[in-house]
Structure 1
Amino acid sequence: PSGVARLLERLREVGEDEQGRALLARDLAAHVAALDDPDDVDELLDRLRAAGADEQVTTLAERLPAVGHFALFITRGGNREQFRLGREPDGSAAPSWTWNDMD
C-alpha cells in the first residue's frame, strides 16, 4: 500500500489530478492485496481521504479486521462507537450483555 499511497501523493504534488482520478477509479481499496503493515495502510487511508475517495476509505477500512487490524478499523474507520463491545464472527457489532446472559 505504501507504493500506492506514494503514487497518489506524487500525482497530487505535480498537479496530475486527472491521472489521480483515473487511478482512484480503479477502486484501489478493494484491490490492494498486501495489508500486513498497519503504518502503510494508515498512510494509504490518509491519501485516499485527501483525494476525496471516501467510498474507498470505507471499503479499505472494512477489510482491516479480517487481516488483524481491528484497532486501525476502530480508529480510522470511524467505528469506535458501533463496535465498542467488539465484533461477532460474522462481522456485525457485538451486542451488549450482562452476567445474567452467561449460561
Structure 2
Amino acid sequence: MAKLLDCLCKAGADGLAALLAERAATGAALDDPSGVAALLDSLRKAGADGPVAVLAERAARITPDKPEDARWLLDSLRKAGTDRQVAALAERAAAHTALGNAYSVADLLNGLREAGADDDAAALAGRAASHVCLDGSFEVAKLLSVLRGDQVAVLAERAAAHGHPAAVAELLAVLRDAGAHGPAAALVERLPAAGRFDLFMDIGDHQDRFRFGREPDTTATAPWTWEDLE
C-alpha cells in the first residue's frame, strides 16, 4: 500500500491517493511493524494528515519484537509529530523488544534518546546490559559504546567472560575506552587459550615478558636456547 500510494502521488492521481490513504489508515494490517512504518512515511509525504493521525494511533499499540522494527516505527511516528504515540511505543519497546542482536539494540537505544524517551532508554539499557545475547564481539562492542553509567560495568563483565576471539580486539578497545579496565584485563588473560596469542603478545610489555613463551599457569616461560630442545 505504501508503494502504491507513492506511485499514485507521483502520477498526480490525488483523488485516488486520498481514497487509498483513508482506507489504508483504517484497514492496514499491523502484523508487520516495518511495513506500518513505511506506510506512515508515505502518508506523511502525501500530506494525508488525517490518515497519519489514524494510523499513528493504531501503530502506537504495536509491540515490535525486533529492535530494528521498533526503531523504524519509532522514527516514523516521531517524524509524523505524534508525540503521545511515540511515548506509548517507546515504553513498550523498551520493556518487551527482543535482545538477540546487540547491534540492533544499540540502534534502538539511540532512537529512544533521539525521541526524548530517556527513561525508556535507561530501562532498555538495563535489560540489555544483563540479558543481551553476547554472540558477536563487534555487536557487543557497539552496544557497550552507547551504554552509560552502571550498565557499562555490567555488560563489560559479561562480555569479558564470553567475548569471541575473532573480534576481541575491537571489544578490548571499547572496554578500555569505557574505563572497564578489570573486564579488559580478564579478557586479555583469555586470549592465549582462545587461540589469539598473537594479539596477547601485542599488549603492554608481553613481547618482553613472554618472549620465550607462556606456561599453562600463566607465568612466563624461563629462557631457553635451541640446544635445550635437543
TM-score by length of 1: 0.74
Tell me which moved more, 58-67 or 82-91.
82-91
| Cα distance in structure 2, aligned partners of 1:25 and 1:78 | 28
Identity among equivalent pairs (%): 42
Contact kept? 1:64, 1:72, Cα under 8 Å: yes
Contact kept? 2:152, 2:178, Cα under 8 Å: no
Q: Could you say which residue in structure 1 is the equivalent of 2:139? A: 3
| Cα distance in structure 1, aligned partners of 2:158 and 2:204 | 16
Per-residue CA distance 1:20-62 (angstroms, 9 max, x = gap):
x324235124431x5241xx20000000000111111110000
* Residues 48 and 5 of structure 1: CA distance in aligned 2, closer, same or farther (over 3 Å): same
Candidates 28, 45, 52, aligned match of 2:158? 28
Comparing both structures, which one devotes a greater share of its residues to helix? 2
Structure 1 residues 55-70: aligned runs within 5 Å: 55-70=182-197
| Cα distance in structure 1, aligned partners of 2:211 and 2:226 | 18
| Cα distance in structure 2, aligned partners of 1:70 and 1:6 | 24
Q: How many residues align?
A: 93
Structure 2: unaligned runs, 5 residues or longer: 1-136
Which stretches of structure 1, 4 residues or more, deviate above 4 A after TM superposition? none
Q: CA deviation at 1:102?
A: 4.5
Q: Could you say which residue in structure 2 is the equivalent of 1:14? A: none
Contact kept? 1:86, 1:94, Cα under 8 Å: yes
Structure 1 residues 16-55: aligned runs within 5 Å: 17-18=148-149, 21-26=150-155, 27-32=157-162, 34-37=163-166, 40-55=167-182
- State the SS of the aligned residue for 2:184: helix
Q: CA deviation at 1:88?
A: 2.4
Contact kept? 2:172, 2:184, Cα under 8 Å: yes
Larger RCO: 1 or 2 (CA < 8 Å, sep 6+): 1
Contact kept? 1:9, 1:47, Cα under 8 Å: yes
CA radius of gyration, larger in: 2
